[in-house]
Amino acid sequence: MLIKTLKSSDLKESDITPENVYMNRRELLKGMGFLGAGVLLTNSASAKAIDWFNKDEVAQFKTTPLKYKTDANADKLILTPEHKVISHNNFYEFGAQKHQPAELSQGFKVNPWQLTIGGECDKPLTLDYDDLFKIFPLREEVRRERCVEAWSMVVPWIGFSLADLLKKVSPNSSAKYVVFETLHDPEQMPGQADRRLGGGIAYPYVEGLRIDEAMNPLTLMSVGLYGKTLPPQNGAPIRLVVPWKYGFKSIKSIVSIKLVSEQPQTTWHKLAPREYGFYANVNPNHDHPRWSQASERRITSGGLFSRNRIETLPFNGYGEEVADMYKGMNLNKYY
Protein backbone atom coordinates (compact mmCIF):
# COMPACT_ATOMS: atom_id res chain seq x y z
CA MET A 1 0.00 0.00 0.00
CA LEU A 2 1.35 3.43 -0.95
CA ILE A 3 1.31 5.86 1.96
CA LYS A 4 2.01 9.55 1.33
CA THR A 5 4.03 11.32 4.00
CA LEU A 6 2.70 14.85 4.33
CA LYS A 7 5.06 17.78 4.57
CA SER A 8 4.36 20.41 7.21
CA SER A 9 3.56 22.85 4.39
CA ASP A 10 0.97 20.64 2.68
CA LEU A 11 -2.48 22.18 2.66
CA LYS A 12 -5.06 20.00 4.38
CA GLU A 13 -8.80 20.47 3.91
CA SER A 14 -9.07 21.38 7.59
CA ASP A 15 -6.64 24.24 6.94
CA ILE A 16 -8.77 25.60 4.13
CA THR A 17 -12.50 25.32 4.84
CA PRO A 18 -15.11 23.54 6.99
CA GLU A 19 -15.70 19.96 5.86
CA ASN A 20 -19.41 20.40 5.10
CA VAL A 21 -18.74 23.29 2.72
CA TYR A 22 -15.99 21.36 0.97
CA MET A 23 -18.09 18.20 0.57
CA ASN A 24 -21.09 20.15 -0.70
CA ARG A 25 -18.97 21.90 -3.32
CA ARG A 26 -17.46 18.58 -4.43
CA GLU A 27 -20.96 17.26 -5.03
CA LEU A 28 -21.83 20.45 -6.91
CA LEU A 29 -18.78 20.10 -9.16
CA LYS A 30 -19.47 16.41 -9.73
CA GLY A 31 -22.96 17.29 -10.89
CA MET A 32 -21.53 19.92 -13.22
CA GLY A 33 -18.95 17.44 -14.55
CA PHE A 34 -15.92 19.44 -13.38
CA LEU A 35 -14.01 16.89 -11.29
CA GLY A 36 -11.01 15.12 -12.77
CA ALA A 37 -7.53 15.97 -13.99
CA GLY A 38 -7.39 18.25 -16.99
CA VAL A 39 -11.01 19.43 -16.68
CA LEU A 40 -11.27 23.20 -16.52
CA LEU A 41 -13.78 25.75 -15.36
CA THR A 42 -14.97 28.29 -17.89
CA ASN A 43 -15.55 31.86 -16.73
CA SER A 44 -19.28 31.35 -16.30
CA ALA A 45 -18.97 27.98 -14.59
CA SER A 46 -16.31 29.32 -12.26
CA ALA A 47 -18.61 32.15 -11.27
CA LYS A 48 -21.29 29.63 -10.25
CA ALA A 49 -18.80 27.76 -8.11
CA ILE A 50 -17.57 30.95 -6.46
CA ASP A 51 -21.16 31.92 -5.68
CA TRP A 52 -21.17 28.93 -3.35
CA PHE A 53 -19.08 31.07 -1.00
CA ASN A 54 -20.60 34.45 -1.48
CA LYS A 55 -23.55 36.00 -3.27
CA ASP A 56 -21.65 39.14 -4.17
CA GLU A 57 -21.47 39.92 -7.86
CA VAL A 58 -18.39 38.31 -9.41
CA ALA A 59 -16.41 40.58 -11.74
CA GLN A 60 -15.78 38.90 -15.08
CA PHE A 61 -12.49 39.41 -16.85
CA LYS A 62 -11.36 38.11 -20.22
CA THR A 63 -9.30 34.99 -19.62
CA THR A 64 -8.81 31.78 -21.57
CA PRO A 65 -9.38 28.25 -20.20
CA LEU A 66 -6.12 26.30 -19.93
CA LYS A 67 -5.24 22.63 -20.16
CA TYR A 68 -2.93 21.53 -17.38
CA LYS A 69 -1.93 18.59 -15.23
CA THR A 70 -3.35 18.68 -11.72
CA ASP A 71 -1.36 17.82 -8.62
CA ALA A 72 -2.43 16.37 -5.29
CA ASN A 73 -3.92 19.70 -4.20
CA ALA A 74 -5.94 20.33 -7.35
CA ASP A 75 -9.36 19.16 -6.16
CA LYS A 76 -9.21 21.03 -2.88
CA LEU A 77 -11.49 23.92 -2.13
CA ILE A 78 -9.59 27.19 -2.11
CA LEU A 79 -10.31 29.45 0.78
CA THR A 80 -9.86 32.65 -1.20
CA PRO A 81 -12.67 33.00 -3.79
CA GLU A 82 -11.63 33.84 -7.32
CA HIS A 83 -13.33 37.22 -7.34
CA LYS A 84 -11.26 38.29 -4.32
CA VAL A 85 -8.01 37.14 -5.95
CA ILE A 86 -8.71 39.10 -9.15
CA SER A 87 -10.04 42.26 -7.50
CA HIS A 88 -7.68 42.83 -4.53
CA ASN A 89 -4.27 43.39 -6.11
CA ASN A 90 -0.93 45.11 -5.72
CA PHE A 91 0.26 46.00 -9.22
CA TYR A 92 1.41 49.61 -9.06
CA GLU A 93 1.88 49.83 -12.81
CA PHE A 94 -1.92 50.07 -12.86
CA GLY A 95 -2.37 52.10 -9.69
CA ALA A 96 -1.41 51.90 -6.02
CA GLN A 97 -4.94 51.35 -4.69
CA LYS A 98 -6.10 47.73 -4.35
CA HIS A 99 -9.06 48.18 -6.72
CA GLN A 100 -7.18 50.08 -9.44
CA PRO A 101 -5.27 47.25 -11.17
CA ALA A 102 -8.48 45.40 -12.00
CA GLU A 103 -10.11 48.60 -13.23
CA LEU A 104 -7.21 50.15 -15.17
CA SER A 105 -5.63 47.08 -16.78
CA GLN A 106 -8.47 45.71 -18.86
CA GLY A 107 -7.14 47.10 -22.16
CA PHE A 108 -3.71 45.58 -21.53
CA LYS A 109 -2.42 43.61 -24.54
CA VAL A 110 -0.47 40.45 -23.75
CA ASN A 111 -0.21 39.02 -27.27
CA PRO A 112 2.24 39.47 -28.93
CA TRP A 113 4.71 39.05 -26.03
CA GLN A 114 8.40 38.28 -25.72
CA LEU A 115 10.22 36.87 -22.72
CA THR A 116 14.01 36.80 -23.03
CA ILE A 117 16.22 34.60 -20.83
CA GLY A 118 19.93 35.36 -21.01
CA GLY A 119 22.98 36.64 -19.18
CA GLU A 120 25.41 34.14 -17.65
CA CYS A 121 24.24 31.12 -19.62
CA ASP A 122 25.27 29.07 -22.66
CA LYS A 123 21.92 28.85 -24.48
CA PRO A 124 19.98 32.15 -24.24
CA LEU A 125 16.35 31.86 -25.21
CA THR A 126 13.46 34.05 -26.35
CA LEU A 127 9.87 32.87 -25.86
CA ASP A 128 6.79 34.31 -27.54
CA TYR A 129 3.25 34.28 -26.15
CA ASP A 130 2.36 30.79 -27.38
CA ASP A 131 5.66 29.37 -26.10
CA LEU A 132 4.71 30.33 -22.55
CA PHE A 133 1.94 27.75 -22.58
CA LYS A 134 3.67 24.90 -24.39
CA ILE A 135 7.37 24.96 -23.49
CA PHE A 136 6.65 22.76 -20.45
CA PRO A 137 3.61 20.81 -19.24
CA LEU A 138 1.47 23.05 -17.05
CA ARG A 139 0.48 21.98 -13.54
CA GLU A 140 -1.64 23.42 -10.77
CA GLU A 141 0.01 24.41 -7.48
CA VAL A 142 -2.12 25.45 -4.51
CA ARG A 143 -0.06 27.92 -2.49
CA ARG A 144 -0.37 30.29 0.43
CA GLU A 145 0.48 33.87 -0.55
CA ARG A 146 1.57 36.39 2.10
CA CYS A 147 1.77 40.15 1.47
CA VAL A 148 4.26 42.31 3.34
CA GLU A 149 1.20 44.39 4.31
CA ALA A 150 0.11 41.49 6.59
CA TRP A 151 -2.75 40.08 4.54
CA SER A 152 -2.77 36.71 2.82
CA MET A 153 -4.59 34.45 0.35
CA VAL A 154 -4.54 30.84 -0.84
CA VAL A 155 -4.34 30.66 -4.64
CA PRO A 156 -4.44 27.79 -7.20
CA TRP A 157 -1.68 28.90 -9.58
CA ILE A 158 -1.05 27.20 -12.93
CA GLY A 159 2.42 27.16 -14.41
CA PHE A 160 5.79 25.42 -14.60
CA SER A 161 8.98 25.29 -12.59
CA LEU A 162 11.41 28.17 -12.96
CA ALA A 163 14.20 25.61 -12.47
CA ASP A 164 13.11 23.81 -15.66
CA LEU A 165 13.29 27.06 -17.61
CA LEU A 166 16.73 27.97 -16.26
CA LYS A 167 18.12 24.50 -16.97
CA LYS A 168 17.03 24.96 -20.56
CA VAL A 169 19.40 27.94 -20.97
CA SER A 170 22.34 26.17 -19.24
CA PRO A 171 23.57 28.64 -16.57
CA ASN A 172 27.35 28.91 -16.35
CA SER A 173 29.50 28.99 -13.21
CA SER A 174 29.21 32.79 -12.92
CA ALA A 175 25.40 32.65 -12.50
CA LYS A 176 24.83 33.46 -8.81
CA TYR A 177 21.58 35.47 -9.02
CA VAL A 178 18.54 35.77 -11.28
CA VAL A 179 17.11 39.20 -12.20
CA PHE A 180 13.53 39.67 -13.42
CA GLU A 181 12.07 42.73 -15.13
CA THR A 182 8.46 43.77 -15.75
CA LEU A 183 7.31 45.23 -19.05
CA HIS A 184 7.92 48.98 -19.31
CA ASP A 185 5.09 50.44 -21.39
CA PRO A 186 3.70 53.73 -20.00
CA GLU A 187 1.08 53.87 -22.77
CA GLN A 188 -0.50 50.66 -21.48
CA MET A 189 0.47 50.98 -17.82
CA PRO A 190 -0.83 54.29 -16.44
CA GLY A 191 1.07 53.92 -13.16
CA GLN A 192 4.33 54.08 -15.10
CA ALA A 193 3.22 57.26 -16.86
CA ASP A 194 2.01 59.00 -13.68
CA ARG A 195 4.30 58.60 -10.67
CA ARG A 196 1.53 59.71 -8.31
CA LEU A 197 -0.78 56.98 -9.58
CA GLY A 198 2.06 54.44 -9.58
CA GLY A 199 3.21 55.02 -6.03
CA GLY A 200 6.40 56.94 -6.83
CA ILE A 201 8.26 53.84 -8.00
CA ALA A 202 11.08 54.08 -10.55
CA TYR A 203 10.10 51.77 -13.42
CA PRO A 204 10.62 49.24 -14.88
CA TYR A 205 10.00 47.04 -11.86
CA VAL A 206 12.97 44.78 -11.07
CA GLU A 207 13.21 41.80 -8.71
CA GLY A 208 15.82 39.16 -7.99
CA LEU A 209 16.52 35.79 -6.41
CA ARG A 210 19.63 33.94 -5.44
CA ILE A 211 20.26 31.06 -7.87
CA ASP A 212 19.44 28.36 -5.30
CA GLU A 213 16.14 30.09 -4.52
CA ALA A 214 15.33 30.25 -8.22
CA MET A 215 16.07 26.54 -8.60
CA ASN A 216 13.91 25.51 -5.62
CA PRO A 217 10.98 23.28 -6.68
CA LEU A 218 8.48 25.66 -5.05
CA THR A 219 9.48 28.55 -7.33
CA LEU A 220 6.88 28.75 -10.07
CA MET A 221 6.47 30.63 -13.33
CA SER A 222 2.70 31.12 -13.41
CA VAL A 223 0.61 31.63 -16.55
CA GLY A 224 -2.79 31.09 -14.95
CA LEU A 225 -5.03 30.70 -11.93
CA TYR A 226 -8.39 29.03 -11.33
CA GLY A 227 -8.06 27.00 -14.53
CA LYS A 228 -7.66 30.05 -16.76
CA THR A 229 -4.97 32.36 -18.07
CA LEU A 230 -3.90 35.15 -15.74
CA PRO A 231 -5.99 38.32 -15.85
CA PRO A 232 -3.84 41.41 -16.43
CA GLN A 233 -4.18 42.62 -12.83
CA ASN A 234 -2.62 39.35 -11.64
CA GLY A 235 0.41 39.63 -13.92
CA ALA A 236 -0.56 38.37 -17.38
CA PRO A 237 0.79 36.69 -19.33
CA ILE A 238 3.52 35.34 -17.03
CA ARG A 239 4.61 36.06 -13.48
CA LEU A 240 6.78 34.66 -10.72
CA VAL A 241 5.39 32.91 -7.62
CA VAL A 242 7.75 32.46 -4.65
CA PRO A 243 5.40 31.39 -1.84
CA TRP A 244 7.81 31.54 1.11
CA LYS A 245 8.60 35.21 0.41
CA TYR A 246 6.49 38.35 0.70
CA GLY A 247 4.40 39.01 -2.37
CA PHE A 248 6.41 41.92 -3.75
CA LYS A 249 9.10 39.38 -4.75
CA SER A 250 6.64 37.62 -7.08
CA ILE A 251 7.10 40.01 -9.99
CA LYS A 252 4.37 40.28 -12.65
CA SER A 253 4.18 40.61 -16.47
CA ILE A 254 7.81 39.55 -16.93
CA VAL A 255 9.69 40.37 -20.16
CA SER A 256 13.27 39.64 -19.07
CA ILE A 257 15.06 37.03 -16.95
CA LYS A 258 18.82 37.46 -16.67
CA LEU A 259 21.41 35.34 -14.88
CA VAL A 260 24.05 37.53 -13.23
CA SER A 261 27.08 37.22 -10.96
CA GLU A 262 26.29 40.00 -8.46
CA GLN A 263 23.27 40.63 -6.22
CA PRO A 264 20.98 42.97 -8.18
CA GLN A 265 19.44 46.24 -7.06
CA THR A 266 15.72 45.50 -6.79
CA THR A 267 12.89 48.02 -6.94
CA TRP A 268 11.46 48.06 -3.41
CA HIS A 269 14.77 47.38 -1.68
CA LYS A 270 16.32 50.30 -3.52
CA LEU A 271 13.37 52.56 -2.67
CA ALA A 272 13.08 51.69 1.04
CA PRO A 273 15.78 49.22 2.19
CA ARG A 274 14.72 49.31 5.87
CA GLU A 275 11.22 48.19 4.91
CA TYR A 276 11.79 45.81 2.00
CA GLY A 277 14.80 43.51 2.23
CA PHE A 278 16.32 41.72 -0.72
CA TYR A 279 15.46 38.28 0.70
CA ALA A 280 11.96 39.19 1.93
CA ASN A 281 11.41 35.80 3.54
CA VAL A 282 8.17 35.64 5.52
CA ASN A 283 9.32 35.98 9.13
CA PRO A 284 6.90 36.50 12.05
CA ASN A 285 9.88 37.36 14.28
CA HIS A 286 11.07 40.28 12.15
CA ASP A 287 8.60 43.14 12.08
CA HIS A 288 8.17 45.68 9.34
CA PRO A 289 9.32 49.06 10.73
CA ARG A 290 5.69 50.23 10.77
CA TRP A 291 3.74 47.09 11.80
CA SER A 292 4.03 43.61 13.26
CA GLN A 293 4.50 40.58 11.03
CA ALA A 294 3.47 38.10 13.74
CA SER A 295 -0.01 37.64 12.30
CA GLU A 296 -1.91 38.21 9.07
CA ARG A 297 -5.47 38.81 7.83
CA ARG A 298 -6.47 35.90 5.61
CA ILE A 299 -8.79 37.16 2.88
CA THR A 300 -11.74 34.79 2.75
CA SER A 301 -15.26 34.63 1.38
CA GLY A 302 -16.36 37.19 3.97
CA GLY A 303 -16.27 40.95 3.55
CA LEU A 304 -13.00 42.72 2.83
CA PHE A 305 -12.59 43.69 6.48
CA SER A 306 -13.65 40.36 8.00
CA ARG A 307 -11.65 39.47 11.08
CA ASN A 308 -9.80 36.39 9.82
CA ARG A 309 -6.64 36.90 11.84
CA ILE A 310 -4.21 33.99 11.91
CA GLU A 311 -0.64 33.52 13.10
CA THR A 312 2.07 33.94 10.48
CA LEU A 313 4.31 30.91 9.97
CA PRO A 314 8.08 31.15 9.35
CA PHE A 315 8.74 30.98 5.61
CA ASN A 316 4.95 31.15 5.22
CA GLY A 317 4.73 27.50 6.27
CA TYR A 318 7.24 26.23 3.69
CA GLY A 319 10.21 25.93 6.02
CA GLU A 320 10.63 22.19 5.47
CA GLU A 321 11.33 22.86 1.79
CA VAL A 322 13.36 26.07 2.01
CA ALA A 323 14.90 26.68 5.45
CA ASP A 324 18.13 24.82 4.62
CA MET A 325 18.99 27.50 2.05
CA TYR A 326 19.36 30.01 4.90
CA LYS A 327 21.13 27.84 7.47
CA GLY A 328 23.54 29.97 9.50
CA MET A 329 22.15 33.28 8.17
CA ASN A 330 20.92 35.96 10.54
CA LEU A 331 17.39 36.37 9.21
CA ASN A 332 16.92 39.64 11.08
CA LYS A 333 19.94 41.09 9.31
CA TYR A 334 19.26 39.45 5.93
CA TYR A 335 15.53 40.15 5.90
Mean pLDDT by 10 residues, the chain (335 residues): 46 41 39 32 29 34 82 56 96 98 97 98 98 97 96 96 98 98 98 96 97 98 97 98 98 98 98 97 97 95 71 97 98 96
| 131 contact partners, CB below 8 Å, separation of at least 6 | 115
Looking at residue 24, its amino acid is N
Residue 321's CB is within 10 A of a number of other CB atoms, namely: 17
Q: Are the CB atoms for 223 and 230 separated by under 8 Å?
A: yes
pLDDT of the residue at 308: 82
Distance CA 102, CA 93 (A): 11
pLDDT of the residue at 159: 98
pLDDT of the residue at 71: 60
pLDDT of the residue at 303: 60
Residue ranges of domains in the chain, CATH in brackets: 20-326 (3.90.420.10)
Dihedral sign, Cα of residue 185, residue 191, residue 192, residue 193: positive
pTM for the predicted model, two decimal places: 0.83
